[in-house]
Amino acid sequence: MSNRNLMLIVFSVAVAAQLAVPAWMIAGRERTMREGKTFKFRTRPVDPVDAFRGRYVWLSLEPGSVKVQDADKWMANQKAYAVLGTDSNGFAVVNRLDRAMPAGEPAVKVRVRWPNIQQKEVRVDWPGLDRYYMTEKKAPAAERAYWQHNVRTNRTCHVTVRVSGNDAVIENLFIEEKPVSDWLKENAAR
Amino acid sequence: MNKKAIRSLYDELPGLVARGILTPDAAERLRAHYGPVEPARPVKLAVIIFGVLGSLLIGAGIILILAHNWEDLSRPARAILSFLPLLLAQGLAVWTLLKMRDSIAWREGASTLVFLMIGASISLVAQTYNISGDLPGFILTWSLLGLPLVYIFNAVVPALLYLWGITEWACHLRYEDSFNAGYWLLAALLLPQLALWMKAGRYRTRPTLLLWAICVSTTVAAGVTIERVLPGLWIILYSALFALMFLAGEFWFSESGGFWPRPLRHFGAGGVLVLSFLLTFEWPWHSIGWRHWQWERLHDTAWRAIPDAALGALIPLAAIILLVTTVRRKAPLGLLFGLAPIIATVGYCLSSLSESYAPAAGLFDLYLLVIGLWLIVAGIRVNKQGQMNVGLLAVMALIIARFFDNDLSFLLRGLIFIALGIALLMANIFMLRRKRGEP
């Protein structure tokens, strides 16, 4: 076999791997979008300065802390699984925090920020669910809308997330019960 | 004698014979002595640079066109379009392999474009699905997917991008306080290609560029991959790393002159000088050594200290082995720079045992002074102005730093500066005159 043909074969293997990675990402997310259960997450008030990131809206999901019995056994930066449930208003709540992936229950990976031993709770981040991407033109307007509707007195933002097993994908960002793109169109006219 | 010099000598020979300075016989004997040199083959550097730049611009353009109206597309359409930049780049790369294999510009350009578009495709998918979070994981995946391009296209720019990627990955993991010593294995994946390039000609552009990048990358990595269980380990590690670079440069790259073709020698020498200068201050020697061993860092993850021990042992060991061969070859400059890890270790033990810092700092004052003076004297003796100036700068930095440690008046400081400046000018004028053969 000539050197050229050998290189072409090696390159086709490399090409296959290069295409497989994004394809695998898409397949997994599409499956979650199709089969996953929808959870509505409340969003937490954010520092308006901190929220500006240009191409995406920086989200901060609720709940930010989880009640646990063994707060002293958790460490900062530890990875955990938040087993999800729904409250009477239809919003997502964390039923419990597991160290290993629970089987047969919808659960999302979270990161422990710090344990609060006195309050018997653990503060958590939702590291995979903190960005909602938009184009450069729309992202700043969406950010402004997001934090105006996310102050303590006026909390009308929520995010829908599809969860299947422990895969979670953000579906949409809502402001006043409308998807953010629709809300921006309506409010641009005003 | 390097090839460039031989080539210019050969160019001179016919003229010398014509003017009767050399007999034709002597000219032939010279040719036989130095052997044949390949004719100068001007690598069209501009073409290569513009090839790479062109592919960068095309890639950026494709991404911008995609980003325009991006939101009006449906999610599956966006997902499929995310592959477009990568597919186009791969198509160009296949064409290059088929039709343009002999063109360095095409190989470098096409492989660079593929490398960048791998990252673009993954980020476009991530944006479509609002995936965030694992930045180091993304960089590592990207780098590993791009690594085969180095070997398939025999190209150096993807190697530089890969090296940047794994260095960035190690830095991010350090920031997250995760284990990142895998960097050294990842970096070693480039060594076979480097060996092939060096075999073909170690002073050529590709190995030279890669070696410069390796010097920078390993210097960063040495700092971020150690676990900091033993405070002050960096002093020994860095002094050994720079000495190892210098000695390896002296050992394997001694036939060529010039600054750029010898990255190991010059980066290593610069490293030893800067590090020695830092170590003449007392602050690096505070709270180091086994009395300040950080047990709490060892508590949960004792195995994470293994790379520390391995790096802290292997690099100094390699440096000392090269130092021994250098002593055998009676190369004084190699001996001087190669001593750095030994002096650092002595300083380390002194500070650890006595909890006083002045002796270790003083040791490096002396070391830097000796290196500086040697560089000046040797530089003057063999007519190397650059070497002499480096020596002068080392000595001057030392003098200025020590004078600033003390509270001297501005007048005195000013006079010292003037004196040092005059010394620098005089030395250079003297050197220039001597080169021109004036008295």
| Contact status of A77 with chain B (Cβ, < 8 Å) | yes
| Residue among B7, B325, B153 nearest A10 (CA) | B153
Give the closest residue to B279 by CA, choosing from B309, B314, B238, B230.
Answer: B238
Average pLDDT, chain B: 84
Share of chain B above pLDDT 90, in %: 28
ipTM of the complex: 0.78
The whole-number pLDDT of residue B45 equals 67
Query: Over the stretch A100-120, which tens digit does the pLDDT of each residue have?
Result: 888 888 888 888 888 888 888
| Cross-chain Cβ contact B83/A130 below 8 Å | no
Average confidence (pLDDT) over B169-177: 86
Cβ distance A127 to B71 less than 8 Å, yes or no, reads no
Residue A24 touches chain B, beta carbons under 8 Å = no
| B67 chain-A contacts, CB cut-off 8 A | 135-136
What does the pLDDT read at residue A189? 57
Give B145→chain A minimum CA distance, Å: 6
- For residue B242, what pLDDT is reported? 95
Residue B132 pLDDT more than 80? no
- The per-residue pLDDT for B422 is 86
Please report which helix (H) or strand (E) contains residue B25, including its range.
helix B24-34
Higher pLDDT, A3 or B438: A3
Both tokens of B361, joined, read 């700092």
* pLDDT-based confidence at residue B121 (cuts at 50, 70, 90): confident
Beta pairing class for A121-125 and A65-67: antiparallel
pLDDT band at B411 (very low <50, low <70, confident <90, very high): confident
Which residues of A fall within a CB distance of 8 Å from B77?
A: none
Q: Please give the pLDDT value at position A53.
A: 46
DSSP secondary structure letters along B387-433 = HHHHHHHHHHHHHHHHHHHS---HHHHHHHHHHHHHHHHHHHHHHHH
**Model confidence at A49: pLDDT above 50:** no
pLDDT, tens digit (0-9, with 9 covering 90-100), for B83-92: 888 888 899 8
SS3 B438: coil
**Has residue A26 got a pLDDT over 60?**
yes
pLDDT of A51 reads 43
pLDDT given at position A62: 81
Average confidence (pLDDT) over B48-57: 75
Which of A7, A56, A134 is nearest residue B152 as measured by Cβ atoms?
Answer: A7
Cis amide bond preceding A63, omega within 30: yes
- Buried-state track A6-36, b at ≥16 Cβ within 10 A, e below 16: ebeeebeebbeebbebbbebbeebeebbeeb
Residue B115 and residue A18: Cα distance in Å, rounded? 10
Query: Quick check: B86 and A22 CB within 8 A?
Result: yes
Q: Nearest-CA distance from B165 to chain A in Å? A: 16
| Pick from A17, A19, A130: CB nearest B132 | A130
* Residue A122 main-chain phi, psi, to 5 deg: -125, 125
pLDDT above 50 (res A52): no
Environment class of residue A52 by beta-carbon count within 10 Å: exposed (0-12), middle (13-18) or buried (19+)?
middle
What digits encode the pLDDT tens for the residues B258-268?
A: 788 899 999 99
Residues of A in contact with B107 (CB under 8 A): none
Q: Which pLDDT band holds residue B295 (cuts at 50, 70, 90)?
A: low
Q: In angstroms, what separates the C-alpha of A121 from chain B's closest C-alpha?
A: 23
Residue B177: which pLDDT band, with cuts at 50, 70 and 90?
A: confident
CA distance A87 to chain B (A): 25
**CA separation for the pair A146, A136 (Å, rounded):** 15
The 3-class secondary structure across B69-120, one letter per residue, is CHHHCCHHHHHHHCCHHHHHHHHHHHHHHHHCCCCHHHHHHHHHHHHHHHHH
Give every CB contact of residue B54 below 8 A, 6+ residues apart in sequence.
Answer: B109
Name the token pair of A74. 């958790």
Asked whether B178 and B155 are in contact (CB, 8 A), the reply is: no
pLDDT value at position A184?
A: 77
Residues of B with CB under 8 A from a CB of A: 67, 70-71, 75-76, 79, 82-83, 86-87, 90, 93-94, 97-98, 101, 114, 118, 121-122, 124-133, 141, 145, 148-149, 151-152, 176-177
Rounded Cα–Cα distance for residues B366 and B401 (Å):
13
> Around Cβ B36, how many Cβ atoms within 10 Å?
9
Cβ contacts (< 8 Å) between B83 and chain A: which residues?
19, 22-23
| Residue A146 reports pLDDT greater than 80 | no
Query: How much helix, strand and coil, in percent to the nearest 5, is found in chain B?
Result: 80, 0, 20
Tens-place pLDDT, residues B309-320: 888 888 989 998
Dihedral sign computed on CA atoms, order B134, B137, B138, B139: positive
Global pTM value: 0.80
Higher pLDDT, B186 or B24: B186
Residue B408 scores a pLDDT above 80? no
Q: In 3D, which of B274, B268, B269, B282 has the Cα closest to residue B347? A: B282
Dist. CA B413–CA A189, nearest whole Å: 69
* Closest-CA distance of chain B to residue A140, Å: 15
Q: How far is B206 from chain A (nearest CA, A)?
A: 20
